[in-house]
Structure 1
Amino acid sequence: METKIRAIITGATGMVGEGVLHECLLHPQVEEVLIINRKPSGIVHPKLKEIIHADFFDLSAIEGQLSGYNACYFCLGVSSVGIKEPEYYKLTYTLTLNVAQTLSKLNPDMTFCYVSGGGTDSTEKGSSMWARVKGKTENDLMKLSFKRVYNFRPGYMHPTKGLKNVLPYYKYMSWLYPFVRRFFPQFVSTLAELGQAMINVVLIGYDKPVLEVKDIVKLAHVADK
């Protein structure tokens, strides 16, 4: 029997979440998508449901709407630039684990996909603050009672044409993409490849829980072979 994905996506009003949502809405094996946002996305699609919810530290008011899903694409995150460690820890680790713990309780058959970042520190002991916090987040997500947890560590992601939430500085970097893709492929993917890889990891799995850029690109193109 062909697997059908019923996915929850966070961060759909940001660049990464919007890109993952775009791929989900295009994919024939994704039958339903629920996005949870602090503000409306403005996207209308037959597959799509949307919940506007301001406080990701308290999901009690919407818990009744979060059951029956077998995938979560957690794309919500903040930059560490200009943020002290306690605040970054709260917005990265505490928020993510709160959402994940709620979803694991409601959907034990769920595959949870976390968008982390290249250079994340799995030891939690390095000098880089953001990398330590991301590493702890990854490590503790993998202790929860999901069916599977995968941590995605993208680098530069070439934007998907036509999407509206592309980060401003990307327009100054896009011209370099063909060169970097050819000579330094371990650092770059497309945003579409990230979305496709996240869909494929739910459909067919992967042999390790942490996916670097080369794994993301490989998994995105499994169906091409």
Structure 2
Amino acid sequence: MDKLSVIVTGVTGMVGEGVLHECLQSHEVERVLVINRRPCGVKHPKLTEIVHASFHDLERIEDQLTGYNACFFCLGVSSVGMSEAAYRQVTYDLTMHVASTLVRLNPEMVFTYVTGMHTDSTEKGKSMWARVKGKTENDLMKLPFKAAYMFRPGYIHPTPGFKNVHKYYKYMTWLYPALRRLFPKYALTLRELGQAMIHVAKELPGQRILEVPDIVRLAGLQR
């Protein structure tokens, strides 16, 4: 594949901010478009930003979404305190609407989606968020993208200095070296997540659902 032209969502959150940073630093990425509900505050020669109120209605900006060969979808919310119907609307419905629009406009696009460890591919388990994420994964992989990859991180160690790191991380980051050593299947860095996304968009490996060890391995190949 030629140089990547990437759409990144969720860059006003921790994961999206980190993935955007890796894209802007990578010589494999030629240009980046971010779509946000509010300005992200990042300026870079590679970067274009669209501030758009609703991801459920993309018709007015469709002409700005063409000509891209990768999407790193990092937009998501916690299910805590939400009903299944509400969580499904902002997780499944929103994601599928964006993905369906992008694949129509860019049929050669590679789509990567950040889900989570223990996502339920059967869609039948007891965990509400895992069922919804599982259905989202399954239906994304049915869309006619060039390829679609489901990223299932566990604990994500933040990149120092970023502004969108969750507040509770300051109480946990000191545990990361031990967590990585004792439970390597559960922990990775935000840098590794971004590097692995770039790698799969370029190299198109056959494995479509990527757990923590897979993500770490692919990040190592990108360096």
Q: TM-score, normalised by structure 1?
A: 0.98
TM-superposed deviation, 1:223: 3.8
Please name the residue that 1:201 is paired with: 200
Deviations 1:177-206 (A, max 9, x none): 000101110000000000000000011122
Distance 1:106 1:207, change over 3 A: same
Please name the residue that 1:192 is paired with: 191
How many pairs does the alignment contain?
Answer: 223
Please name the residue that 2:157 is paired with: 158
Question: Any conservation in 1 of the 2:196–2:222 contact (CA below 8 Å)?
Answer: no
Please name the residue that 1:22 is paired with: 21
Question: Any conservation in 1 of the 2:188–2:216 contact (CA below 8 Å)?
Answer: yes
Which amino acid letter does the alignment assign opposite residue 187 of structure 1? Y
Please name the residue that 1:62 is paired with: 61
How does 1:50-199 map onto structure 2 within 5 Å? 50-199=49-198
Deviations 1:135-186 (A, max 9, x none): 0000000010100000000010110011110011111110110001011100
Please name the residue that 2:45 is paired with: 46
2:185 is paired with a residue whose SS is helix
RMSD of the alignment, in Å? Answer: 0.8
Question: Any conservation in 1 of the 2:10–2:75 contact (CA below 8 Å)?
Answer: yes
2:207 is paired with a residue whose SS is coil
Structure 2 residue ranges without an equivalent (≥5):
none
Distance 1:191 1:205 in 2: 21
TM-superposed deviation, 1:207: 2.4
1:221 is paired with a residue whose SS is helix
Distance 2:69 2:222 in 1: 21
TM-superposed deviation, 1:56: 0.5
Distance 2:114 2:2 in 1: 23
Distance 2:43 2:126 in 1: 44
1:135 is paired with a residue whose SS is helix
Distance 2:47 2:95 in 1: 22
Say yes or no: does 1:220 pair with 2:219. yes
Q: TM-score, normalised by structure 2?
A: 0.99
2:59 is paired with a residue whose SS is coil
Distance 1:125 1:206 in 2: 28
Percent same amino acid at aligned positions? 64
